[in-house]
Structures are given as C-alpha cells and as structure tokens.
Amino acid sequence: MEQLPKNRKLHILLCLLLLLAGSISSSGYADAVSGSACTMAQEPEQLQKEEKDTPQSIPADSPLKAAAARRSKRNKGLTLSQLIRKYPETLLTQGPRTRMIALTFDDVPDPRFTPQLLDVLRKYQVKATFFVVGSRAERHPELIARIIREGHVIGNHSYNHPEFGKLGMNEFRTQIIRTENILSALAGYKPKLIRPPYGDISEPQLKWAKAHGYKLVNWNVDSLDWRGLSKAQVRNNIVAHAGKGAIILQHGGGGKGSNLQGTIQALPEVITIMRKRGYTFVTVPHMLQVSKNK
C-alpha cells in the first residue's frame, strides 16, 4: 500500500473502516442496542398486561384471597352448629345429661291434632312444651287455654312461621313481639322460650334475643313426623335416638293436608318405652332450670 498514491490509500482505508463498522453493527453491538430499544418500547405494554391480568391470577395462598374468603364468610354468616357453639347459654338443643326427656310439639294450636295429643298426655300424666304460632293462637284461643290449664308450657314459634334467616331485624322482632303479646293475653305470661321455625336464625337475631332475655330451644331428636310417617316409624325415630337430656321434636299442628296420626298413635308407646328405660318426662323450663316467662 506504500506504493499507492496517497488519495488511493485514504480511499482504501476509508472502505476498510466502513466495512469494519458494518460488521460490528450487524453483530453484538447493534443487536444489543436494538434489543434494548425493543425492551424499553415493549415494557409499558407488558406492565399494562400484567396489571390487567393480576386479579385473575392471584396465588392460592395470597393474603388477598384469604381476606376475600373471610369477607365471604362474614357476609354469609355462621352456620347453626357454629352459633350453638358460640352461644351455648342462649341457643340450646338438649338438656343436662340426666335421665330426663322433654317432649316438644310445634305449630300449635291445630284443632285437628292438638286436642288428641293433649288427651294422650293427660292420660299418661306427662307435661310437655308447646311452641305456638301466633296467628293460630288468635284463631283457637280455647286450645291455648286448655294447654295452660292442663299444666303444660308454651313457647314462641313466630306469628306465621317464616324462616327467620330470611327476615330483616324489624320483621324478626315483629314476629316475636306480636306473638308474645297474643300469648300474654291468652296464657297470662310472655314466654321466655323461642323456637325458630325450621330451627333457623341469624347471629344478629340471636344477639337481640339474648339481650332481651330469651332462650332459643331447638332439638336433638327429630321424629320426622311432619312427613306423615306411620306410628311405628315415628316411634322408632324417637326411641332409637332419645337419651339423657333429649329434647324431642314432634308436631301438634300442620299445614293443609298434613297427617300427624302417626305422632298421636306413637305417643303412648314412646312414653311407655322410655319410662321402662328409667326416664322421666319434663317440660323444657324444668329440664333447663329456667323460668317459663321472661
């Protein structure tokens, strides 16, 4: 190259430099710069996508999911078994573990069935607890008078048998207080005992009942007599499960077309069998050692 003209040498050097620069740009450096630029250009779009997708892909152990589960539980409310554990002195399903049994009859008074049950109880000298529907008491005050006269205890079973858990607080209070006033006029006292229809109640309703001096009484032995079962079926449902401190659910009233003859016919045998086993029949207030009135 030393023998080449000076201008020619400069031209060749310039070409070599251009070729070298082209080689570098087509390799790592150009790729690195290009890649970096692409990354920076795509970064905002990717962040937007990730932010958009985040709520749909929270890990299973995320605190957000745990908090959401707790909120859902609070909104849904405690189950009945959880309420029983949380309020054991207010919501009861059985008595002390002694050889006592409480017979309870819901949905009274009903002229088709209640008088026949009262006849059996009187014959066998058994006192029971009747949970009264207020609207029925208004229509059949003479049956409430007979229940009281024959030494039984009454409790509040709402005015027209709604599911309490579906009622607001004002509606719930109306159901209790309206029935309470009817029973106070007919029986001479305001019952301390409440049995929620279907055994259903919410925690706010339970708190209100507790604050106002009520006891809520469900059951731990279900005769299933509302299904229109036979005498043998009702009897077996009771005697197979009744034990110390049992509170037995039966019905002394029903809806249109109800058949409670199985309960009426089974009652003498239930009383006889359980007495032979050494049990005494008592009212719910007697079993729980609480007053029948507020």
Q: What string of H, E and C letters represents the secondary structure of the chain?
A: CCCCCHHHHHHHHHHHHHHHHHHHHCCHHHHHHHHHHHHHHHHHHHHHHHHHHHHHCCCCCCHHHHHHHHHHHHHHCCCHHHHHHHCCCCEECCCCCCCEEEEEEEEECCCCCHHHHHHHHHHCCCCCEEEECHHHHHHCHHHHHHHHHCCCEEEECCCCCCCHHHCCHHHHHHHHHHHHHHHHHHHCCCECEECCHHHCCCHHHHHHHHHCCCEEECCCEECCHHHCCCHHHHHHHHHCCCCCCEEEEEECCCCCCCCCHHHHHHHHHHHHHHHHCCCEECCHHHHHCCCCEC
How far is CA 86 from its chain centroid? 13
Is the pLDDT reported for residue 44 higher than 80? no
Residue 28 CA to its chain's centroid (Å): 68
Is 286 annotated as catalytic?
A: no
- 206 vs 73, more confident: 206
* Residue 18 confidence class, pLDDT cut points 50, 70, 90: low
Facing residues of 131 across strands?
106, 155
Mean pLDDT of 244-249: 98
pLDDT at 214 over 70: yes
**Residue-level pLDDT at 48:** 35
Report the pLDDT averaged over residues 35-60: 34
- As a whole number of angstroms, the distance between CA 222 and CA 248 comes to 6
Q: What percent of the chain has pLDDT over 70?
A: 74
Whole-angstrom distance, CA of residue 150 vs CA of residue 145: 9
| Alpha-carbon span 61 to 100, nearest angstrom | 50
The whole-angstrom separation of Cα 30 and Cα 60 is 43
Could you tell me which residues come within 8 angstroms of residue 240 by beta carbon, excluding any fewer than 6 positions away? none
Is 152 in the active site? no
Tell me: pLDDT of 191 over 80.
Answer: yes
Residue 252 token pair = 């002394």
163 pLDDT more than 50: yes
Has residue 228 got a pLDDT over 50? yes
Among residues 53, 152, 251, 286, which one is catalytic? Answer: 251
d(Cα 14, Cα 110) in Å, to the nearest integer? 115
pLDDT(55) > 90: no
Residue-averaged pLDDT of the chain: 83
The one-letter amino acid code at 141 reads P
Can you give the pLDDT at residue 289? 97
Please check whether residue 131 is in contact with residue 106, taking contact to mean a CB–CB distance below 8 angstroms: yes
Looking at the DSSP bridge assignments, the partners of residue 249 are: 104, 222
Catalytic-labelled residue, pool 106, 107, 110, 225: 106
pLDDT at position 71, please?
32
User: Is pLDDT larger for residue 71 or for residue 266?
Assistant: 266
pTM attached to this predicted model: 0.75
Asked if the model's pLDDT at residue 49 lies above 50, the reply is: no
**What does the pLDDT look like over 248-262, one tens digit per residue?**
999 999 999 999 999
Beta-bridged to residue 54, according to DSSP, are none
- 105-120, pLDDT tens digit by residue? 999 999 999 999 999 9
